[in-house]
Amino acid sequence: MKRFDSVLLKVFLYGLPLAAVLAVFSYFYGVGVVKHGGGYVKFLNGFAGLVLAVWMMLSVLLSLRLIVSGPFRDRVIARITFIRERDEREAILTGKATKTAFLTSFAFLVLLFCLSCFQVSIYRVPQEKAVDGKTGIVSLGFGFSLLEHGRQDRPEDTIERINIFSYRGLPVSNATIILMLIVWQIISYNYSMRRLMK
C-alpha cells in the first residue's frame, strides 16, 4: 500500500500542472476562443477531457486516502505544506504555526460567510411609488439558505425601479472559494512558520 500511495501522490502532484493547462485549453475551446475546426484540436479537447477525468478520479482517491490513513496524511501534508520537524523545537513551532493558520482561516471563513449573506440595494422608484416623497431607497438584507436554489423574485424585485447599486453575495463560484481557502491555508501556515523560525 505504501508504494501505491507514493505513486498516487506523484501522479497527483506531477499531473497538477498538466491538468491546469488542459483545463484552461478546454475552457477556451468551450467558449469559442480556440477554433473548433480541424481534427487535431478536437482530438486535443477530447484528450484533455480524458486526462482531467482521470486526474479528478485520482484526486478523489487521494482525498479518501488522506482522510483514512494517518501516516499517509502526515507524509502528504508535510510535503505539500513544506513542514519539516527535525527536532522538538521545530515540532513546537509547527504547532504554533498550525494554530495561527487555523485562526486566520477561521477569520477568513467568517468574513466570506458575512460577505455571502449580506445584501445591499440602492435604487430609485418612480414618483408615484415614492415613500414620504422620496424616490431614493436603500435596502439592507441578510440572505441565508442551506441549499442552493434558483433566485425567485420577491414582490419588491418586481417594482419598476432604476438600480444604482446592488450586491447580493459573493460573485465567485463555490469551487473558487474552496480553492482560495486551500491556498490561504498553505500560505498562512508557511508565512507563520517562516516568521517563527527567525
* 155 confidence band (pLDDT: 50, 70, 90): low
Q: List the one residue out of 180, 183, 9, 196 whose CA is nearest residue 98.
A: 196
SS3 170: coil
**Is pLDDT of 148 > 70?**
no
Give this prediction's pTM: 0.58
Place of cell 418612480: 126
φ/ψ of residue 170, rounded to 5:
-65, 135
C-alpha 33/C-alpha 191 separation (Å) is 38
Enumerate the domain spans of the chain. Answer: 1-81, 87-198
State the burial class of residue 189 (Cβ atoms within 10 Å of its Cβ: 0-12, 13-18, 19+).
buried
Q: Which residues contact 45 (CB under 8 A, 6 or more apart)?
A: 25, 26, 29
- Per-residue pLDDT of 32-76, as tens digits, reads 777 766 677 778 878 888 888 888 888 888 888 888 888 887 777
